Amino acid sequence: MTLIEDLKFRGLLNQATDEDGLTDLLDKEKIALYCGFDPTGDSLHIGHLITVITLRRFQLAGHRPLPLVGGATGLIGDPSGKQAERTLNEQSVVEGYSQKIRSQLERFLDFDGENGAKLKNNYDWISEMSVIDFLRDVGKNFGLNYMLAKDSVESRIQSGISFTEFSYMILQSYDFYHLYKEENCKLQIGGSDQWGNITAGLEFIRKMYGQEEDEKAKAFGFTIPLVTKADGSKFGKTEGGAVWLDPEKTSPYEFYQFLLNTEDSDVIKFLKYFTFVSREDISALEKEVEERPHERAAQKRLAEELTAFVHDQDAVRQAQNISAALFGGGDLKSLSADEIRQGFKDVPSFTSEEGKGLIDLLVEGGVSPSKRQAREDIKNGAVYINGDRCQQMDKTMGPEDRIDGQFTIIRRGKKKNFLVHYEG
């Protein structure tokens, strides 16, 4: 398949300004393309991955990606898809976010070789413009009626939009023009909410080069669909919030489990969107979902592929080890300290010291409400230490009860887990 055919197969081509022209261009030459990422937080989340991976698909086909961190536009705020004005962050905060997002993008694209990616920050050129230059040389090319007709602006007219956010479209358009002029960038991609900003940039390029040079100034844009689940809800949200790419915010195990819990109705679509699994393998996995859904082969493949891409293969093995120990009857004592931190991140935890009696430990940690209840729990076989049932009333906690020398996992009943840390 050609690149465009592959994008269509995967459902990634939502809108295109000139699909035939873009197809012809990609057949004839290797191009530079860009996608912007505004630093509105200190990490990208899983929803950003669809555009990052699309950049990667272009790179694997021989094209040069230009991931852009919006150090300037991040100070302004994009009204697209927002019902109300964003809270503006201080410049120092945005700079810090920019650095973190930059380091994440550098993990997902190759920056060496003939078509090595080039990371851009629009603060480098927008900050150099004076207000007069911006108004005379850029702003004069944007008609008010034209801007008001764009969805990102029109949807906010009733609730209100400031001049600051209103000007965002102009700044993003200037980014496209600047990259076209300096890097010969002929394509901008983005989420479906960016269609108005992308087409405004194309119009600005055409105006800057003039009608007579329209063909010379030919540039393109396409959008990627908003990632939603079969029930219409937004992909990438959990009860605990967004699924982040930063392992400190969402552990590799949590990331893996989120994908492993994908519904059958969504998993093939997400395999197409987020992985480089071949067409043939996806067809085989689709058949698995239809005939043997209980085996969850497609979900496992999705979780393995995407966890390895975002983190690494060691993270996949760790996530599988934790899953096996927690849900597959595996040995808890085989887990490493790091795996325990990930797998038991959200369970109640407390600190104790070695040599304490089990009954006292159960009461101290709130596992049992009283010594009397603790004795009852032990007697009835409801207490487990590191996965093993313990009915020894006079049990004293010793070094042999520590996993990786640091933790003890106590379970009361079938599901109530507690994590014990040790002092010293």
> Has 237 been labeled as part of a binding site?
yes
pLDDT at residue 82 is higher than 90? no
Give residue-wise pLDDT tens across range 113-137: 999 999 999 999 999 999 999 999 9
Whose tokens are 């809270």? That residue is 87
> Contact 194/226 with Cβ under 8 angstroms?
no
155: pLDDT strictly greater than 90: no
Question: Mind telling me the catalytic residues?
Answer: 40, 45, 48, 82, 86, 172, 193, 234, 237-238
pLDDT of 236 reads 82
Cα gap 289→300, rounded to integer Å: 11
């010594």: which residue's tokens? 371
Write the burial class of residue 65 (CB in 10 Å: 0-12 exposed, 13-18 middle, 19+ buried): buried
What domains lie within the chain, and their CATH numbers? 3-224 (3.40.50.620), 237-331 (1.10.240.10), 349-422 (3.10.290.10)
The whole-number pLDDT of residue 83 equals 67
Share of the chain above pLDDT 90, in %: 70
DSSP letter for each residue of 75-91: GT---TT-SSPPPPPPH
pLDDT at 108 over 90: yes
Tokens 């764009």 appear where? 150
Look at residue 256 in the predicted model and tell me its pLDDT: 96
Distance CA 343, CA 256 (A): 11
Residue-level pLDDT at 328: 66
Give Cα 183 distance to the centre of its chain.
27
Whether pLDDT at 79 is above 70: yes
Task: Give residue 217's pLDDT.
Answer: 60
pLDDT at residue 234, rounded to an integer: 81
Single-letter code of the amino acid located at 400: E
Residue 257 DSSP SS3: helix
Phi/psi at 221 (5° precision): -150, 145
Tell me what pLDDT residue 86 has.
67
Residue in the block written with tokens 């395999």: 271
Report yes or no: 411 and 383 within 8 Å, Cβ to Cβ.
Answer: yes
- Confirm or deny that 30 is annotated as ligand binding: no
pLDDT digits (tens, 9 = 90+) for 14-46: 999 999 999 999 999 999 999 999 898 899 999
Q: What mean pLDDT is reported for the chain? A: 91
pTM confidence score: 0.86
- pLDDT over 70, % of the chain: 96
Q: How far is CA 192 from the centre of its chain?
A: 17
- CA dihedral in degrees (362, 366, 371, 376; nearest 10)? -70
Give pLDDT tens digits for 319-354.
998 988 887 677 888 899 899 989 888 889 999 887
Q: Tell me which of 188 and 337 has the higher pLDDT.
A: 188
Model confidence pLDDT, tens digit, residues 266-301: 999 999 999 999 999 999 999 999 999 999 999 999
How sure is the predictor about 241, in pLDDT bands with cuts at 50, 70 and 90?
confident
Beta-bridge partner residues of 66: 34
Output the CA torsion 83→79→197→115 (10° steps).
-110
Evaluate whether 186 touches 222 at the Cβ level (below 8 Å): no
Interatomic CA distance for residues 11 and 273, integer angstroms: 7
254, 323, 360, 370 from 27: Cα distances, Å: 41, 45, 73, 74
> Which of 209, 293, 228 has its CA nearest to residue 266?
228
What does the pLDDT read at residue 123?
94
Per residue in 135-151, pLDDT tens?
999 999 998 888 888 87
pLDDT class of 164 with cuts at 50, 70, 90: confident
Instruction: Judge whether residue 71 has pLDDT over 60.
Output: yes
Q: Burial code of 330-366, b = ≥16 C-beta within 10 A, e = fewer?
A: bebbebeeebbbbbbeeeebeebeeebbbbebbbbbe
Question: Does the pLDDT value for residue 211 go beyond 60?
Answer: no
Which pLDDT value is given to residue 81? 64
- Per the annotation, does 168 bind a ligand? yes
CA 148 – CA 145 distance, rounded (Å):
5
Supply φ then ψ for residue 161, to 5 degrees: -145, 135
Better pLDDT: 1 or 392: 392
Give the distance between the most distant pair of CA atoms in the chain. 92
The mean pLDDT of 237-243, rounded to a whole number, is 77
Instruction: Categorize the per-residue pLDDT at 361 as very low, low, confident or very high, splitting at 50, 70 and 90.
Output: very high
Q: What's the pLDDT score for residue 150? A: 80
- d(C-alpha 80, C-alpha 91), whole Å: 21
The conformational region for residue 30 under phi > 0 = left, psi -120 to 50 = alpha, else beta, is: beta
172 is annotated as contributing to ligand binding: yes
Distance CA 7, CA 340 (A): 39
pLDDT at 279: 96
Residue entry with tokens 């479209």: 169
CA dist., res. 214 & res. 92, Å (int): 40
End-to-end CA distance of the chain: 60
- Beta strands in 125-216, from DSSP E residues, in sequence order: 185-191
